[in-house]
């Protein structure tokens, strides 16, 4: 007799369908891996080209700097000679009275040197313009690298379907982080003594962030960043108020906030901060490569408002590679189980 697990033909058909579905899922994951690798190849090829261009630009700058040094030497020499001739001209003019032939000769030499100096100045202007052009090229190349490293996006995925990620649970964790910061935030204190208050709230945010991460071990990191516009006591070169807590060697590590000058919408790396602000709601990112952690991440970010005042952004990062491997492993286990059941049935039939 067939066991209770497989008693009818529909049961076998269901198993075969499941095996086919699992094979398709595994194939899709492999296709995603191939696509990811190809995209990384493309972006890092562009990055290598950019570095090569930057190297060439810097070399050109060095050469032109040497030319400028030569021209400056010429101008310095001319200036010294002009000064001596001017002195001589004054002496001769005093002596000559009505007979100023010697003075005329000296004046002519001064004039020639003046022309030479003028020509050198024109050359300097030309070289400076070329240097500025090279600097512009180098800056554009650096911007290209920043863009490539800052956020290498891939196609949007149905995370729950593809990786088995409980997106609702992650969103709930970020909402709870926001709620705890909201309960701790005091408008009156922040305005009366901002320096003292934001030093204190920094410690509070760190504690909340660490606790959130420890209770959500499936996350790679969590963060909260205070709106820089509230930090009127700080300068652009100062660190902002915020924290990024992340897992490192099975322990929670903390990274302080970014510099205030980094908070600009044109900074491609700051998508996690500005996207939820623009949407005025929680936002999932695409899959992107983060150069600081050297990982493929997916982020969920949520803005915090108190009485219609924007306070900051909280969020959580997921290690895409980790969940991809987990999903692949789970699919393989399900496939093995289904194949074992089918094998069992085949033996019974024999």
| Residues paired with 289 in a beta bridge | 296
Q: What is the pLDDT along the chain (350 residues), one digit of tens a residue?
A: 334 444 445 565 665 566 666 556 655 655 555 555 555 545 554 554 455 555 566 566 666 666 666 766 676 676 667 666 666 666 666 666 666 566 666 666 666 776 676 677 667 767 766 766 766 666 566 555 555 544 444 444 455 555 556 788 899 999 999 999 999 999 889 989 999 999 999 999 999 999 999 998 889 999 999 999 999 999 989 999 999 999 988 899 998 878 999 999 988 888 999 999 999 999 998 888 877 777 888 899 999 999 899 999 999 998 887 777 766 666 666 666 666 665 565 555 55
Rounded-to-integer distance, Cα 76 and Cα 66, Å:
15
CB–CB of 29/332 below 8 Å?
Answer: no
E strands along the chain, which residues?
A: 221-226, 242-248, 251-256, 283-284, 288-290, 295-306, 309-319
Cβ neighbourhood burial of 87 (10 Å; 0-12, 13-18, 19+)? exposed
Q: What is the distance in angstroms between the CA of the first residue and the CA of the last residue of the chain?
A: 12
Rounded-to-integer distance, Cα 251 and Cα 80, Å:
68
- Biggest CA-to-CA distance, the chain: 138
């Amino acid at each position: 007799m067939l066991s209770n697990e497989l008693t009818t033909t529909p049961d076998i058909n269901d198993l075969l369908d499941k095996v086919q579905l699992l094979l398709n899922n595994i194939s899709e994951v492999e296709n995603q891996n191939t696509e990811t690798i190809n995209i990384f190849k493309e972006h890092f090829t562009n990055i290598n080209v950019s570095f090569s261009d930057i190297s060439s630009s810097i070399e050109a700058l060095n050469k032109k700097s040497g030319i400028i040094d030569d021209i400056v030497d010429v101008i310095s020499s001319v200036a010294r000679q002009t000064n001596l001739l001017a002195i001589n001209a004054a002496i001769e003019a005093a002596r000559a009275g009505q007979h100023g032939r010697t003075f005329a000769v000296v004046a002519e030499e001064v004039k020639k040197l003046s022309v030479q100096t003028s020509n050198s100045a024109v050359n300097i202007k030309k070289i400076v313009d070329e240097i500025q052009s090279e600097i512009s090229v180098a800056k554009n190349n650096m911007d290209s690298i920043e863009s490539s490293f800052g956020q290498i996006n891939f196609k949007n995925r149905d995370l729950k379907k593809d990786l088995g990620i409980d997106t609702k649970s992650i969103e709930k964790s970020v909402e709870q982080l926001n709620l705890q910061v909201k309960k701790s935030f005091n408008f009156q204190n922040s305005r009366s003594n901002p320096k003292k208050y934001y030093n204190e709230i920094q410690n509070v945010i760190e504690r909340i962030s660490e606790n959130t991460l420890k209770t959500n071990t499936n996350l790679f990191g969590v963060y909260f960043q205070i709106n820089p516009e509230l930090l009127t006591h700080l300068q652009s070169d100062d660190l902002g108020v915020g924290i990024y807590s992340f897992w490192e060697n099975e322990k929670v590590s903390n990274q302080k906030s970014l510099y205030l000058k980094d908070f600009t919408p044109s900074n491609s790396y700051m998508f996690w901060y500005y996207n939820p602000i623009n949407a005025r709601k929680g936002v999932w990112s695409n899959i992107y490569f983060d150069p600081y952690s050297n990982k493929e991440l997916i982020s969920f970010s949520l803005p915090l408002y108190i009485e219609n005042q924007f306070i900051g952004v909280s969020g959580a990062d997921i290690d895409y590679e980790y969940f991809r491997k987990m999903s692949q492993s789970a699919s393989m286990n399900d496939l093995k189980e289904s194949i074992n059941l089918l094998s069992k049935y085949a033996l019974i039939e024999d």
